[in-house]
Amino acid sequence: MKIQILGTGCPKCKALEANTIKAIEDGALDATVEKITDIDQIMDMGVMMTPALAIDGEVLSAGKILNKDQILALVKGGR
Amino acid sequence: MACSCSCGGDCKVTLLYACSGAANTGLLADQVARTLSTREVGGMTCLSGVAANISGFVVSAQEADMNVVIDGCKVGCGARIFKEKGLPFEHAVITDFGVTKGETPITAELIESVSDQIAQRIA
C-alpha cells in the first residue's frame, strides 16, 4: 500500500505526515509513504485543500490533519 | 478572507464551479468564475472533475466551506451533478441576471456586472 501525503511543505502537511508514519508503525501496516509537494501534481489530482491524504492514488481526505486513529480507520475500510 | 487552499492558514475555503456549456450563457458562467477566482473570492476548480468522480475533486467539494455552482441556464447541469453526489452548494444561474440564452452578447461589462452580483450574494 502506498500512502501519499499531498502538501507543499507547511506545518499542517508535516503534522499529517508524522501522524501517518505513527499510524503505519502502530498499526504494523505494510505501507510506504510518498510526499507529493509539487503544486501542479497536487492540482492534477483535483486537490484544492491541503494537506491531503491519498491511498494508492485515491484521495480520501483534504484540508484536514487526520490523527493516527483516523488514518488507521481509512486504511481499514473507512474508504 | 476567502481562499482556495487551507495549507498553513485558517481562511474560509470557497470553491467555484462553472458549467462552461456551449451557449453564450455557459461562456459567461465560465468567465464569471474566472473573474471571481482572480479577485480571490474563491478558487475555480473543475466541475467535470466532480462529475467524473475523480476522488480529489469530490473530496475537495466535500470539505470546502462553500461550493458555488454557476450554471448558464435553467437546465442546471452543475446543480444536478452536486445534488446527485449529495454535495452542498450555493447556486447561481446566469439567465437569472437578465441574460438570454443564445442572444445576449457577452461583454467585459456584463462579466464584471454579474461577477459583482454573485460576489455580493455569497459574501
Residue B3 located in a structural domain: no
Residue A35: inside a domain: yes
Query: What pLDDT score does B9 carry?
Result: 60
Residues of chain B contacting A47 with CB distance shorter than 8 Å: 56, 59-60
Q: Please tell me the total count of domains within chain A.
A: 1
Per-residue pLDDT of chain B (123 residues; tens, 9 = 90+): 344 455 556 678 999 999 989 999 999 999 999 999 999 999 999 999 999 999 999 999 999 999 999 999 999 999 999 999 999 999 999 999 999 999 999 999 999 999 999 999 998
Tell whether A74 is covered by a domain: no
The 10s digit of each residue's pLDDT in A6-53 is 999 889 999 999 999 999 999 999 999 999 999 999 999 999 999 999
Residue B5 located in a structural domain: no
Residue of A28, A1, A30 lying closest to A53 (CA atoms): A1
More confident residue, B116 or A78: B116
Which chain A positions have a beta carbon within 8 Å of B64's beta carbon? 48-49, 63
* Residue from the list A11, A46, A63 with its beta carbon closest to the beta carbon of B57: A46
Q: Which domain holds residue A15?
A: 2-67
Using one digit for the tens of pLDDT, what is the confidence trace for B17-32? 999 899 999 999 999 9
Contacts of A50 (CB under 8 A, 6+ apart): A6, A7, A8, A10, A12, A13, A42, A62, A63, B5, B6, B7
Cell numbers standing for residue B92: 447561481
Q: Is A54 on the interface with B (CB under 8 A)?
A: yes
Residue of B nearest to A49 (CA): B5
In one letter, which amino acid is A14? K
A56 touches chain B (CB under 8 A): no
pLDDT for the residue B50: 98
Domain, as residue range, for B96: 13-122
Q: Which three cell numbers stand for residue A1?
A: 500500500
- The predicted pLDDT at position A16 comes to 97
Residue of B6, B54, B62 lying closest to A50 (CB–CB): B6
CATH number of the domain bearing residue B84: 3.40.50
Give the burial class of B118: count Cβ atoms within 10 A of its Cβ; 0-12 exposed, 13-18 middle, 19 or more buried.
buried
Whether chain B has a CB inside 8 Å of the CB on A66: the answer is: no
**What pLDDT, on the 0 to 100 scale, is given for residue B6?**
55
Spatial contact of B4 and B33, defined as CB atoms under 8 Å apart? no
- Intra-chain end-to-end CA distance of chain A, in Å: 14
A24 in reach of chain B (CB within 8 A): no
* Inside any domain, residue B1: no
Helices (H), B1-123: 24-38, 47-51, 55-63, 77-84, 108-122
Q: What is the pLDDT of residue B27?
A: 98
* Whole-structure pTM value: 0.91
Residue A33 lies in a domain: yes
Residue A77 binned pLDDT confidence (cut-offs 50, 70, 90): confident
Total tally of structural domains belonging to chain B: 1
Q: A20: helix, coil or strand?
A: helix
Q: Which of B60, B65, B85 to mutate to test the interface with A (most CBs of A within 10 A)?
A: B60
| Interface size, chain A vs chain B, as Cβ–Cβ contacts under 8 Å | 71
Q: Which of B6, B13, B60 sits opposite A46 (nearest CB)?
A: B60
